[in-house]
Amino acid sequence: MSRVLAVVLLVLVAAGCADEPVTPPAPSPDAAFVAGMVPHHQQALELTAMVGGRGASPGLEAVALRIDRDQVEEIGQLQGLALARGLPVVPAPMMMGMASPATLAALPGLRGAAFERLWLDTMIRHHEGALAMARDYLATGTDETLRRYNQALIASQSAEITTMAQLRTTIAGP
């Protein structure tokens, strides 16, 4: 009888534990970085696609084309690395520097200098967000390929920020 009581108590205790919320383990820095950076780069592609036909300067069109090509290549690299490493698909973490829905809605209605100013301001913030994400990864991530990727990203996007800031100073207006 005591054995039956012990089994019943064990079942009741186990059942009670099942009601406790289970917190899934945090994703690895590698999976979290890829999950955040791929949609971040996808938004950059959305922004670069807006440049054509808006009366943008040749300098802005050249920067947008270079960013577009880089982001397409980097998305492929990140997705391939995730597949090769078997990284789990995790929800995208908070991504720094993302353009707001209001900005994404405003840009298509602008042309010329007004478009260029807002686009450059937006893309500079977007790149600054990517730099912060890359530095965060370098502080915690251990995958050597992703570490090299982030070091290259910091160099290339820092240079693009400098170019975009210089372009921004040539546009009349606030």
Asked whether the predicted pLDDT for residue 17 surpasses 70, the reply is no
Mean pLDDT of 13-17: 50
Asked whether the predicted pLDDT for residue 39 surpasses 80, the reply is yes
Q: Is the Cβ–Cβ distance between 51 and 64 less than 8 Å?
A: yes
Residue 105: alpha-carbon gap to chain centroid: 20
Q: Does domain 27-169 have CATH number 1.20.1260.10?
A: yes
Residue 62 CB burial class (10 angstroms; 0-12, 13-18, ≥19): middle
Using pLDDT thresholds of 50, 70 and 90, give the confidence band for residue 20: low
Asked whether the predicted pLDDT for residue 15 surpasses 60, the reply is no
User: Could you read off the pLDDT of 100-130 as tens digits, one per residue?
Assistant: 999 999 999 999 999 999 999 999 999 999 9
With the C-alpha atoms ordered 147, 127, 71, 104, is the resulting torsion angle positive or negative?
positive
pTM for the structure as a whole: 0.83
More confident residue, 14 or 138: 138
pLDDT averaged over the chain? 88
User: Hunting for tokens 């090509």 — which residue is that?
Assistant: 69
User: Could you read off the pLDDT of 73-102 as tens digits, one per residue?
Assistant: 999 999 999 999 999 988 887 789 999 999
Using pLDDT thresholds of 50, 70 and 90, give the confidence band for residue 9: very low
Residue 84 CB burial class (10 angstroms; 0-12, 13-18, ≥19): exposed
Using pLDDT thresholds of 50, 70 and 90, give the confidence band for residue 8: very low
Tell me the percentage of the chain whose pLDDT exceeds 70. 84
Mapping DSSP onto H, E and C, the string for the chain reads: CHHHHHHHHHHHHHHHHHCCCCCCCCCCHHHHHHHHHHHHHHHHHHHHCCCCCCCCCHHHHHHHHHHHHHHHHHHHHHHHHHHHHCCCCCCCCCCCCCCCHHHHHHHHHCCHHHHHHHHHHHHHHHHHHHHHHHHHHHHHCCCHHHHHHHHHHHHHHHHHHHHHHHHHHCCCCC
Asked whether the predicted pLDDT for residue 55 surpasses 90, the reply is no
More confident residue, 56 or 127: 127
Using pLDDT thresholds of 50, 70 and 90, give the confidence band for residue 6: very low
More confident residue, 144 or 15: 144
